[in-house]
Amino acid sequence: MGLQIDQEVLAELALLNTGGTESEPPPVGDVTTRRANSKRTVDQLMATRPPITGVAVQHHAVDTDDGATLTLHWYHATTEQPPGSAVLYLHGGGMIFGMRELGGLYDWLTRRYVAASGVPMLLVDYRTAPESAHPVPVHDCFAALEWLHGHAGELGVDPARVAVMGDSAGGALAAAVCLMARDRGGPAIAQQLLVYPMLDDRTALPDPELVPFVTWTYDDNITGWQALLGQSAGAHGVSSYAAPARASDVSRLPPTYIDVGDLDIFRDEDVAYARRLAAAGVPTELHVHPGCPHAFEGMAPNAAVSRRVIADRVRRLQII
C-alpha cells in the first residue's frame, strides 16, 4: 500500500494552508526566504493557540567565551512545588531559524511541557547559522548547560537530575551537548530526549517514497547543513559535535528517548542512532509514528497521534 499520512494530521495541515498563497519553494541556500516563510507559518499557528496558564518565565543571561551574551528563559510551574529536576530545552529550526522566527511557538511549547509535567525548563536563544556557523551553536548550548548547573542551588534543582531535550536541529544540538559533556567529564546529564533529531549532514539523496509528504524538505536540509558547515557538509571529517551521527563511540551516554514520524526525512538516521545507542549499552526508548511528517505535533496539535507523542515525552520528563 505504501506510506500514507495520518488523516487527522492531514486535516489540520489543510486548515493551516487555507488562505495561503502557493509559491515556488526557495532554492537551496536561500536562508532569507526560508526565515520569512517560517515566521509567517509560526504567526499563523500561534494565532489560534489557547494561552497556557500556571507557568511563569524569568529571563537570565550568560556570557560566552567569545564575548557574546545569550538570553536564557527559565520556565517553571506556579501551581505546584518544583520536583527538583530540570531540563535544558534546545529549540529546532534547521540550524538557521532562531527565536526571532520561532519564539512564539517555542514559548507556547515550553509552557505546554512545563504545565503538563511540572518540570522546569531552561530555553536558550542560541546563535544560528550562517551568521554563526559550527561550533558556535553547540558551544552556546553547552554554556547554557553549565549555567544551569552553576545556578542549580538558587533554582531549586538537583544537579544530578538535569536532562537535555531538543527537537529537530535542537535534537542534534542536544545529542551533541551530551557527547561533549561525556568527553569533558561533565556537567552531569540524567537523560537526553531527542525529538526527530537532525543528526546526519549526509542526508541528501531524496527518498521518492517520502517526498510527497515532507514538511522539512531535502533542499531545506541541505540549506541548513551548508549554513552550519559550509563546504564541509557531507564530506569527510565533520565533527560529531556538529552532526552526532558521525560519532564513532556512543557509549556512556545518558538514557535516551527518541521519537520520529515515518514520513520524516530524519527517520532512518534517528532509527540508526537509536540502534547504535542500544547496542552500546545505553538504555534507549524509540518511537516511530506512522503517518507523521516532521514537526507534526506542532502543526497538528489536536490529532490523536500528537496527543500520544506529547504524553510520551511528558512521561519521560516526569522520571528525570
What tens digit of pLDDT does each residue of 254-305 get? 999 999 999 999 999 999 999 999 999 999 999 999 999 999 999 999 999 9
**Is pLDDT of 222 > 70?**
yes
167 within a domain of the structure (yes/no): yes
Residue numbers annotated as active site = 168, 264, 294
19 within a domain of the structure (yes/no): no
Residue-wise burial string across 257-276, b where 16 or more C-beta atoms lie within 10 A, e elsewhere: bbbbbbbbbbbebbeebbeb
1 within a domain of the structure (yes/no): no
23 within a domain of the structure (yes/no): no
In contact, 86 and 155? CB cutoff 8 Å = yes
For the chain, the domain total comes to 1
Who has greater pLDDT, 145 or 205?
145
Give the predicted TM-score (pTM) of the model: 0.97
86 within a domain of the structure (yes/no): yes
In CATH, what number is assigned to the domain containing residue 83? 3.40.50.1820
20 within a domain of the structure (yes/no): no
**Is pLDDT of 18 > 90?**
no
107 within a domain of the structure (yes/no): yes
| Burial of 39: CB neighbours in 10 Å, binned 0-12, 13-18, 19+ | middle
Domain range enclosing 297: 7-13+29-319
User: Which region among 34-43, 201-210, 251-260 has the lowest average model confidence (pLDDT)?
Assistant: 201-210
178 within a domain of the structure (yes/no): yes
**Is pLDDT of 19 > 60?**
no
Q: What percent of the chain has pLDDT over 90?
A: 93
Q: What percent of the chain has pLDDT over 70?
A: 98
